[in-house]
Amino acid sequence: MRAQVAAFMWACVCVAPDHAEAQAGAAPQRVVSAGLCADAYLAAFGESDTVIAASWQVHQPVSAAPDWMRERPLAWVDAERLLRLNPDLVVFAAGEGGRTADLLSRHGIGVFELGWASDFVGIEENLRELGQVLGREAEASREIAELSARLDDLARRADVRGRQPEILYLSASGGSAGTGTFVDAALRATGAINAVDATGWTRSDPEHALGLSADIVVTSFFRDGFGGRMNRARHHSAYAHLLAAEPRIDIPSGDWPCASPNLIHAAERIADAADRWARDAREEN
């Protein structure tokens, strides 16, 4: 499926439920982002007059959208509202197109849905495919090359560091992240060891949390995430020792509300903490 979509060009018609459908014609001139993750990918291509609207989440704390995108009209995953914007391409986050994308297609509007990504390879694939749809392949290639160079730099820093820290990720919900998640991908890109021995996203478990420890605690979505009763780690005493742990760093939620090009920022912040931890360990010895 990936190989088929990678060959997709804006000048052809492609039917792929989790990627793109477009009509024949020139590169789109009225592009609308319909989701938080779509915002992040379109922003990675730089400011463009062709992006005429951003998602309603662009003003939320979990968004890292640039100022130019925050000034655009807002869009929702709602066919009627999207049609009023008169787009020729709507970009959806993974899994968010659904019936709305089908309805837009019936009205002759191009749609592109990002693929599910859980690592940097998936991010690069999304950039490459979106670049083809936008007619901005050169910008996509440059972004991918920069991402690759930054990942290489993280690997170099891990080699210099030598010993690697065990890192525990804790979200405001009390959950964490094991293998197969983009949080784990960010941790492993730094050379760090994920303290969570599990696959996928884990749920809040106060009893289990009492026994958790790590060299570094990484938190996120506490200060700038969505509020609600599900944020158990903010209030439950079982998580207090993790929130008081030293060293502990808090990653801005805008770095990783999904697996977007911004994930590299989270990885670099984690690498900074790992470098400090290694330096302190050497000084103690």
CATH entry, 159-284, from 3.40.50.720, 3.50.50.60, 3.40.50.1980, 3.40.50.1820: 3.40.50.1980
Confidence of residue 284 (pLDDT cuts 50, 70, 90): confident
Q: Is the pTM of this model over 0.85?
A: yes
Q: What is the pLDDT of residues 17-34, one digit of tens each?
A: 333 444 445 899 999 999
Where in the chain are the domains?
2-137, 159-284
Residue 149: pLDDT over 90: yes
Q: What is the pLDDT of residues 67-79, one digit of tens each?
A: 999 999 999 999 9
Q: What is the pLDDT of residues 100-118, one digit of tens each?
A: 999 999 999 999 999 999 9
3-state secondary structure of 44: helix
Confidence of residue 283 (pLDDT cuts 50, 70, 90): confident
Q: What is the pLDDT of residue 25?
A: 56
Interhelix angle 263-284/182-189, nearest 10 degrees: 50
Q: Which residues contact 101 (CB under 8 A, 6 or more apart)?
A: 21, 90, 92, 111, 113
Q: What is the pLDDT of residue 14?
A: 34
Residue 180: pLDDT over 70: yes
**Contact predicate 115/258, CB 8 Å:** no
Phi and psi angles of residue 233, each rounded to the nearest 5 degrees, phi first? -70, -20
Q: Do domains 2-137 and 159-284 have the same CATH topology?
A: yes
Q: Which CATH architecture best describes the domain 2-137?
A: 3-Layer(aba) Sandwich (3.40)
The region of weakest confidence among 109-118, 151-160, 183-192, 207-216 is: 207-216
Q: What is the pLDDT of residues 195-245, one digit of tens each?
A: 999 999 999 999 999 999 999 999 999 989 876 667 889 889 999 999 999
